Amino acid sequence: MALSRSGKVYLRLRNARNRAIIARKRLRAVHPTTYVHPSSQVATDVVAGPYVFVGMGCHIAPRVTIGRYTMLASAVAVVGDDHVWDVPGVPMQFAGRPSQRATRIGADVWLGHGAIVMRGVTIGDGAIVAAGAVVTKDVPAFEVWAGVPATKLRDRFARLAERAEHEAMLAGPLRTPTFAESPEHYEAARGNDEI
């Protein structure tokens, strides 16, 4: 029988797994409820709040802060600021590195599969960045961005009252998690109803 993702047993097992991965990767400033896929490369100085999700194959550079409830789909990368490239007569790989700029990803942000975030930008709370987008400048809160380079498509919420309600939730106490059930759980539940 599949374990329900709504139960206390699942939450305890999930948090134990998260703590083990966080410890193995030496992520000292990552909340114990944060999930980091084992295949992801995350700088040890990353700061991540409660219930952050870092999917498979992500690459997170140093000096990145991620707010609570934020989801990074698989293959998301925070990159850039790697080399000095404007010194004549010196190959880029020998020219040194610029000072590393901080990158801030707000709370309840969703970065789609393969999104690339250039270091030094800020992505506001509640923003959504589409799969494959390349973010080269700041993304305001509660906007949906896509493309190369990424540009605004629309606002996340149609009404200011909806945005205000969501902002109040983000500023409030930590919510009790409810996770989507696995396909196996649905199949098991459906199988019990069939003759």
Which residues are tagged catalytic? 83
What is the number of other CB atoms lying within 10 angstroms of the CB of residue 88?
5
Q: Classify residue 105 by burial, with Cβ atoms within 10 Å: 0-12, 13-18, 19+.
A: buried
Task: Kindly calculate the radius of gyration of the chain based on its CA atoms and give it in whole angstroms.
Answer: 19
Query: Token pair of 57, please?
Result: 């194959």
Buried b or exposed e, range 91-100, using 16+ CB within 10 angstroms: eeeeeeeeeb
86's torsion region: left (phi>0), alpha (psi -120 to 50) or beta? alpha
The C-alpha atoms of residue 47 and residue 60 are separated, in whole angstroms, by: 11
- Nearest Cα residue to 156 out of 118, 104, 109, 107: 109
The CA distances from residue 146 to 85, 97, 127, 132, 141, in Å, are 28, 29, 11, 8, 14
